[in-house]
Amino acid sequence: MKITRSLAATALVAVGSAALLATPDASAQLMVRGRALYIAPQERSSPLSLGVSNEVTPELDLSWFFTPNIAVELILATQRHNVTSAGVDIGSLKHLPPTLMLQYHFTPSQDFKPYLGVGVNYTRFYDVNLGGGTLTVDRSSTGGAIQAGFDYRLSGQWYLNVDVKKVWIETDVKTAGGVFVSNLKIDPLLFGIGIGYKF
């Protein structure tokens, strides 16, 4: 947990510093993307063997380009996951994981525009229904995130987007009375494909 929080803090400082130091120029633009997102948790848990279901969900993101190469992206999505213990269904939970990414776009003047990103994720868990109400989780998690993807110009200001992210999400499962039961690291890989428009 300490390593994850340190990574998140470093990423947050990097995003904030870039936003403060970057000088917007005449090419500064807003890009809006909508993606279909496949969520593949890479879960680990101890001492229980907990599983978190793969899911598909829509995603919306907003990218502000401070320069042709440097952008900050805010990613928004939410999803419900089923949770198992040793393969047995024990309920579900929902999470809202807004993620802020600092991106570098390598070829802004070309139709094919690859990018890399690093950032910070804040996850809020809600509608937790585990163990028939006998279990709950810590309500929030902060962790790092990394990203790789590309935009490809289709026509005018319209782009095809393909994106892959790794996000670190961790929580503790507890009894309704607050007694620790198990740590749960969800740490999903996120595969997205969608359409973007640059204003």
CATH code at position 7: 2.40.160.20
The total number of structural domains in the chain stands at 1
Give 35-60 pLDDT, tens digit per residue. Answer: 999 999 999 999 989 999 999 999 99
CA distance readout (Å), 157 to 31, 72, 106, 148, 149: 9, 19, 18, 21, 18
Residue 139, phi then psi, degrees to nearest 5: -80, -15
Q: How large is the average pLDDT for residues 188-195?
A: 97
* Spatial distance between the Cα atoms of 103 and 167, rounded to a whole number of angstroms: 15
* Spatial distance between the Cα atoms of 170 and 168, rounded to a whole number of angstroms: 7
Radius of gyration for the chain, computed over Cα atoms and rounded to the nearest angstrom: 18
pTM (two decimals): 0.82
Give 83-107 pLDDT, tens digit per residue. Answer: 999 889 999 999 999 999 999 999 9
* Percent of the chain predicted with pLDDT > 70: 86
* Spatial distance between the Cα atoms of 89 and 149, rounded to a whole number of angstroms: 34
Full residue range of the structural domain in which residue 47 is found: 2-198
